[in-house]
């Protein structure tokens, strides 16, 4: 396959074959059990075969299918380790370059959107794409002023493919449930479908990216590529080097893992406070680990892609003080607009939960619609449900691990668990949907990294309503310092 399959009948047929394959494997599994294999072993064999087929199809189709695969990929940490191994291999393929568009098609899009003389805008243009993602692919080039740039070209027919894929996938979303224990996939697909128009609008993406680039221009920790040029279906940004986060997850040193995790948490919470926007696509393909500013001659910049194939520093070559390594952030095609930053309800509820104020948490969740008026829940039961999930905020530093995430997923996914029963009765207001998904996805990436993170520092600095939480005098003093640091950083724009 060398192009995005655009005929609806072709894409629909491939996706429609998935549930048939699931059913066939279930029959195969029944036969194996009759033949003497244990139900548990057979179930895992079926699960592994299902993963292989699912992610092969999702990766081939790009579009909404690949986008769902990328979203699911950050949750592989929640799976049992003996199952997660084969899943991880299949999921990793979705973070790598997909088959490219034919060069002729790329040139046609560029001529149509930039003009017949588009080559005059560049002194160099690489026809071979450096990376590919769900709705577009990226080419490295040199802009006419000498800057290295990334040229993102949208696949022709990408919008139609996105809508078709997500509509089809939503029809058998429940069959995907076992792939991500404790997560309801249908709302995820619905939310993606509702944001298709934003995802395809490169003008909106350029605006969101430039707002971030301007705000973080002198930041010592976070690097955002500037926007160079934008037109319909074509976005040109500065090029960015660095080690893809997927490589840090696979082979990074402990120092790289911890630094990347800390900066990822910092960006998640500081972004809305500083820009009024929440980057809403936190899968590993959209992040790089970069050397300190004084360790390189210049920065480049990026793409919405899964990884560049040229000139990335090798593992261990970042150099400089590990505490000064920076996080590069790409792809602002999906953002949540939060003019006032993250809602104070989140910080207030989190603080009260950590203080053990069950009644206060219950009242706030009911007031904001997390507990509907028709639902009766015991305040202590709600607090007991929340405390294990917010464990990373209870301590000065927390090591995110796959085993911790698996324990949380198992607790919520087990129908016999009180947490499962209570979770089914909670409601997620529409205004919190994207915030919830981004938070879960970020936790998934932190667990993939196995990073030790001072999460509470970031919460105290950037999350409205949280700072009053001070379990003891020493922590209160640390909180005051973090507040002062946050105020100084926000005022200085650094």
Rounded Cα–Cα distance for residues 158 and 155 (Å): 5
Q: What is the pLDDT of residues 272-307, one digit of tens each?
A: 999 999 999 898 889 999 998 876 544 444 334 433
Q: What is the pLDDT of residues 180-234, one digit of tens each?
A: 655 677 777 887 777 778 888 999 999 999 999 999 999 999 999 999 999 999 9
Rounded Cα–Cα distance for residues 378 and 376 (Å): 7
In this prediction, residues 430-437 reach a mean pLDDT of 89
DSSP annotation string for 274-300: HHSEEE----GGGEEEE--GGGSS---
Q: What is the pLDDT of residues 148-188, one digit of tens each?
A: 999 999 988 877 777 777 777 777 676 666 556 556 777 77
Rounded Cα–Cα distance for residues 40 and 263 (Å): 39
- Those residues with Cβ within 8 angstroms of residue 366's Cβ, 6 or more apart along the chain or in another chain: 373
Note the maximum CA span of the chain.
70
Place of tokens 């990884």: 307
Distances (CA, A) of 68 to 20, 187, 208: 19, 12, 22
Q: Is pLDDT at 350 greater than 50 in this prediction?
A: yes
Nearest CA among 212, 196, 324, 249 for reference residue 84:
249
The pLDDT, as a whole number, for residue 187 is: 77
> How are the residues of the chain apportioned to helix, strand and coil, as percentages rounded to the nearest 5?
55, 10, 30
DSSP H helices, 62-201, are 63-73, 81-92, 103-114, 158-171, 185-194, 196-200
Nearest CA among 55, 54, 131 for reference residue 94:
55
Question: Which of the two residues, 268 and 100, has the higher pLDDT score?
Answer: 268
DSSP annotation string for 301-367: ---SSS---SSPPPTT---S-GGG-EEEE---SSEEE-TTSS-HHHHHHHHHHHTT-HHHHHHHHHH
Top-confidence range, 95-109, 151-165, 387-401: 387-401
DSSP annotation string for 298-317: ------SSS---SSPPPTT-
The pLDDT, as a whole number, for residue 83 is: 57
Rounded Cα–Cα distance for residues 216 and 306 (Å): 22
DSSP H helices, 5-94, are 8-34, 39-61, 63-73, 81-92
Q: Is pLDDT at 262 greater than 90 in this prediction?
A: yes
Dihedral-angle region of residue 148 (phi above 0 means left; psi in -120 to 50 means alpha; beta otherwise): beta
Alpha carbon 375 to its chain's center: 32
Average pLDDT score over the chain: 79
From 217-231, 259-273, 358-372, 476-490, the region with the lowest mean pLDDT: 476-490
Question: Which of the two residues, 73 and 310, has the higher pLDDT score?
Answer: 73
- Confidence at 28, pLDDT banded by 50, 70, 90: very low
The pLDDT, as a whole number, for residue 154 is: 92
Q: Is pLDDT at 27 greater than 60 in this prediction?
A: no
Q: Are 458 and 327 in contact (CB under 8 A)?
A: no
Rounded Cα–Cα distance for residues 134 and 67 (Å): 5
- Confidence at 84, pLDDT banded by 50, 70, 90: low
Rounded Cα–Cα distance for residues 12 and 32 (Å): 31
């Amino acid at each position: 396959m060398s192009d995005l399959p655009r005929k609806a009948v072709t894409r629909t047929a491939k996706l429609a074959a998935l549930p048939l394959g699931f059913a066939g494997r279930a029959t195969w599994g029944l036969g194996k059990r009759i033949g003497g294999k244990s139900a548990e072993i057979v179930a895992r064999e079926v699960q592994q075969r299902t993963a292989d087929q699912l992610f092969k199809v999702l990766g081939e189709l790009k579009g909404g299918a690949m986008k769902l695969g990328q979203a699911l990929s950050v949750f592989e940490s929640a799976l049992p380790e003996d199952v997660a191994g084969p899943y991880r291999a299949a999921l990793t393929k979705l973070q790598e370059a997909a088959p490219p568009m034919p060069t002729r098609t790329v040139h046609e899009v560029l001529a149509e959107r930039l003009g017949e003389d588009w080559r005059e805008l560049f002194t160099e243009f690489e026809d071979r794409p450096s990376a590919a993602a769900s709705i577009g692919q990226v080419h490295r080039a040199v802009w006419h002023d000498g800057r290295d740039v990334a040229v993102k070209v949208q696949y022709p027919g990408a919008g139609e493919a996105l809508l078709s894929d997500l509509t089809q996938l939503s029809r058998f979303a429940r069959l995907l449930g076992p792939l991500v224990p404790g997560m309801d996939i249908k709302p995820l697909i619905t939310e993606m479908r509702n944001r298709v128009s934003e995802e395809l609008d490169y003008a909106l993406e350029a605006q969101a990216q430039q707002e971030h680039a301007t705000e973080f221009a002198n930041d010592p920790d976070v690097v955002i590529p500037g926007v160079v040029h934008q037109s319909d279906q074509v976005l040109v940004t500065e090029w960015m080097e660095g080690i893809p986060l997927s490589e840090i997850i696979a082979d990074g040193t402990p120092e790289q893992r911890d630094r990347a995790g800390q900066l990822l948490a910092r960006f998640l919470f500081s972004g809305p406070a500083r820009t009024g926007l929440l980057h809403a696509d936190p899968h590993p393909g959209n992040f790089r680990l970069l050397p300190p500013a004084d360790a390189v001659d210049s920065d480049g910049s990026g793409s919405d892609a899964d990884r560049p194939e040229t000139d990335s520093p090798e593992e261990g070559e970042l150099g400089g003080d590990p505490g000064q390594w920076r996080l590069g952030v790409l792809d602002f095609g999906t953002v949540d607009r939060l003019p006032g930053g993250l809602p104070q309800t989140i910080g207030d509820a989190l603080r009260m939960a950590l203080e053990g104020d069950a009644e206060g948490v219950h009242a706030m969740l009911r007031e904001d619609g997390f507990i509907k008026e028709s639902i009766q829940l015991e305040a202590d039961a709600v607090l007991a449900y929340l405390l294990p999930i917010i464990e990373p905020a209870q301590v000065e530093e927390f090591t995110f691990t796959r085993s911790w995430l698996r324990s949380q997923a198992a607790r919520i996914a087990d129908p016999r668990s009180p947490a499962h029963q209570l979770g089914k009765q909670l409601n997620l207001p529409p205004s919190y949907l994207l915030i919830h998904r981004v938070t879960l996805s970020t936790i998934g990436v932190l667990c993939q990294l196995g990073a030790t993170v001072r999460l509470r520092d970031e919460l105290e600095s950037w999350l409205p309503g949280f700072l009053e939480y001070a379990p003891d005098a020493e922590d209160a003093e640390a909180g005051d310092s973090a507040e002062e640091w946050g105020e100084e950083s926000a005022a200085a724009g650094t």
